[in-house]
Amino acid sequence: MKICVLPGDGIGPEITAQAVRVLKALDLKFEMEEALLGGCAVDATGSPFPEATQKAALDADAVLLGAVGGPKWDVLPREQRPERGLLGIRKLLGLFANLRPAVLYPELANASTLKPEVVSGLDILILRELTGDIYFGQPRGIETREVEGVQQRVGVNTMIYSENEIRRIGRMAFEAARKRSRKVCSVDKMNVLETTQLWRDVMNELAPEYPDVELTHMLVDNAAMQLVRAPKQFDVMVTGNMFGDILSDEASMLTGSIGMLPSASLNETGKGLYEPCHGSAPDIAGKGVANPLATILSVAMMLRYTFGMEAEAQRIESSVKKVLAQGFRTGDIYEPGTKKVGTAEMGDSVLAAL
């Protein structure tokens, strides 16, 4: 069982170090290889996704990623920026489905900016399609055109989806709902965008194959509002790349901190890239205060989805719950009366609970 570890930029190395400690504590005989992705790869090789990293990712059964990016690299040409490394590895591995659970632990009910009665018991799974949509559509770029008689710069991005791309993420959503509360809400903007009219059509075509799952549709602007108004109405949400990017971050804040939320990006064989939902947080990098729990919980998702080790995944998740119940908190989830700890101390607490 081979894992490619990509610590990345900012707080990435700090949080992945704690997740690796948890993996090693399980004594499951994983073989791990560390490689460069993102800004650190640009600094070392000139490329955000060097060939050595491509080979390591292809050779591995799963990939554990910290985070990439930071203002340091924003001055670079777009194709050289750290985020291109992330897009590149998703494409190379065929990672089409991003699974983002948004779960509110009872101990963190007061950490949410919403009233506890609105978010208490929250448990949503958002499936975001990863390989299509406006992020990958051609043509794209910035060009000069004559508009209203004036030569000016015009930015061009094209939103494209094929029915097969929609169908495979749709099937995954229905299958996930069968293991949960049997409800799928498909999010689109079909009243304006023909691309998402196709999305809705294909979802409706799939629905008869899953008579035990309730399918509903919601326009993305309404979905954004409903996530704040009454989030517990949702079970599984499925949507395209851009809408999913936005909605999953919105949902993450319902839980009190994006530092608590893991994610999995899967291909058709179950190979996956696992990473926290948050970014590289360069403002706190190197200070030892970042929350490693999202990365540790991403390891639990790795064990569940790629390696089929449900018992071990639950061990990690139970350990995180125990640590929270014991009152340990990093700064992002701290409240008076709890024990404020740093990155390594939180890792120590999870290992003790394990």
Sign of CA dihedral 192, 198, 199, 204: positive
Q: Does the active-site annotation cover 221?
A: yes
Of 41, 276, 266, the residue nearest 131 (C-alpha): 266
Helix (H) or strand (E) holding 264: strand 262-266
Q: Residues 251, 231: contact at Cβ < 8 Å? A: yes
Question: Among residues 72, 91, 135, 201, which one is catalytic?
Answer: 135
Based on C-alpha coordinates, what's the Rg of the chain? 20
- The three-state secondary structure class of 261 is coil
* Closest by CA position to 344, among listed 64, 16, 18, 101: 18
Cα distance between the two ends of the chain: 21
| 325 backbone φψ class: left, alpha, beta (φ>0; ψ -120 to 50) | alpha
Is residue 332 part of the annotated active site? The answer reads: no
Catalytic, out of 43, 59, 74, 221:
221
Tell me the two tokens of residue 332: 């992002």
Catalytic residue among 61, 123, 249, 348: 249
DSSP β-ladder status, 2-8 and 183-188: unpaired
DSSP state of 22: H
Q: Is there a catalytic annotation at residue 249?
A: yes
Contact in structure between 165 and 184 (CB atoms under 8 Å): no
Q: What phi, psi does 51 have (nearest 5°)?
A: -60, -35
Q: Quick check: is 2 catalytic?
A: no
- Going by the DSSP 8-state scheme, the letter that residue 135 receives in this structure is G
Q: Active site includes 245?
A: yes
Active site residue: 9, 133, 161, 189, which one?
189
Catalytic residue, from 245, 321, 334, 348: name it.
245
The catalytic residues are: 135, 189, 221, 245, 249
